[in-house]
Amino acid sequence: MTALLKLDNATIRFDGLVAVNGVDLEIEKGEILALIGPNGAGKSTIFNLITGIYPPTEGGISFNGKSIAGLPPYVIAGGGIGRTFQNIRLFKELTVLENVLIGAHTRGRWDLTGALLKLLPQVRREEGRLLKLAIHCLTQVGLAHKAYEQACNLPYGEQRRLEIARALAIEPVLILLDEPAAGMNPQEKRTLLEMVRNIRAAGVTVFLVEHDMKFVMGLSDRIAVLDYGVKIAEGRPEEVRANPAVIEAYLGKGTMR
């Protein structure tokens, strides 16, 4: 099965510091792949590489067989890769609904002319379609009842869910979740787990970075482990958990398990 996303010896260097070092990674269509590793291992950098914020210094990256290295973020998003951010980046002043409507931006095409000719049936149809898509995404994360709230007024856990809804509005093929469970209590994490499973069931491939081991183990089909920018392990959760290199990376050398 050809991989949906493929990192080929991807390397990112910042002025002498190697953040990502020759990483080979493949994400299969329909799977839930998790990326774990100690702090500073380069996980967010890999996300930023995939979404086009940084170009690879060396190596390649391809999506559905076509290279996306060096493409700007908005093109990559338009190609079907959505993401959430480690430090939540919502449009704070706007409402919950507007946030997701903006997420649905690439699903429409009427710009200035459409704005001025609002009453044109094609334009109204498109607005209706975008609205329906937005509500659908909000329902998926359980926030439809708060559609008119200002995004900054939501409690933290709901803000994270809103970000996911916004990413879903792209109608993505692949979604990147950057520490989606951070700061959530156990109850919220259980809800999130179900949510991610439903997202996959709807046909979206999931690639996530997370620190909560229980969350990761219970959710992922496969896990990749990063340490100092190098991939040190990859495989099914049980395999990775027992891998001595992984244990050493997290606990340091010379510690008995």
Partner 1 sequence: MFLQQLINGIALGSTYALIALGYTMVYGIIALINFAHGEIFMVGAFVGLLMVGVFKLNIFLAMACAMIFCMVLGVVIEFIAYRPLRKSSRLSALISAIGVSIFLSSLALMVFGANAKGFPEQAFSSRQIHIGNADISTLQLLIIGVSAALMIGLEFIVQKTKIGKAMRATSEDYNTAALMGVNVNFVISFTFALGSALAAAGGVLVGMLFNAVSFNMGLMAGLKAFAAAVLGGIGSIPGAMLGGLLLGVTEVFGVAIGYSSYRDAIAFAILVLVLLVRPTGLLGRKVMTKV
Partner 2 sequence: MLHAFVNSIDPYFLQILVNIGIGIILALGLNIITGLTGQLSLGHAAFMSVGAFTGALLTLKTGTPFYLNLLLSGLFSAAVAALIGWPILRLTGDYLAICTLGFAEIVKVVFLNLEITNKALGLTVPTPTSALPMPVIVLMVAILAIVASVLIQNSRFGRALKAIRDDEIAAESVGINIARYKVQSFAVSAFMAGVGGCLYAHFLGYINPSDFGFLKSIDMLSMVVLGGLGSIPGAVFGASILSAAPEFLRFMSQYRMLVYGALLVFLMVFRPNGLLGGVNLTDLVLRKLGIRRHGATRNQEWSQ
Which residues of this chain interact with partner 1, rule CB under 8 A? 14, 44, 48, 53, 85
Restricting to residues 151-170, name those near partner 2 by CB under 8 A: 166-167, 169-170
- The smaller minimum CB distance to partner 1, of residues 48 and 220, is found at 48
User: By CB under 8 A, is residue 145 in contact with partner 2?
Assistant: yes
d(CA 93, CA 78): 24
Total binding residues for partner 2 by CB under 8 A? Answer: 44
Place of tokens 């609904």: 97
- The type of residue at 23 is V
Strand partners, 66: 63
Q: Which is nearer to partner 2, 169 or 208 (CB)?
A: 169
**In this structure, what are the phi and psi dihedrals at residue 199, rounded to the nearest 5 degrees?**
-60, -45
The minimum distance between CB 85 and partner 1, in angstroms, equals 7
CB of 48 to partner 1, least distance (A): 5
Cβ proximity to partner 1: between 54 and 110 the closer is 54
Cβ-contact 180, 191 below 8 angstroms: no
Torsion of CA 21, 24, 25, 26, to 10 degrees: 160
Helix axes 96-103, 156-168, angle to 10 degrees: 30
Chain contacts with partner 2 (rule: CB under 8 A): 51, 53, 72-74, 77-78, 82-83, 85, 89-94, 98, 101-103, 105-106, 108, 110-112, 114-116, 118, 126-127, 130, 135, 139, 144-145, 147-149, 166-167, 169-170
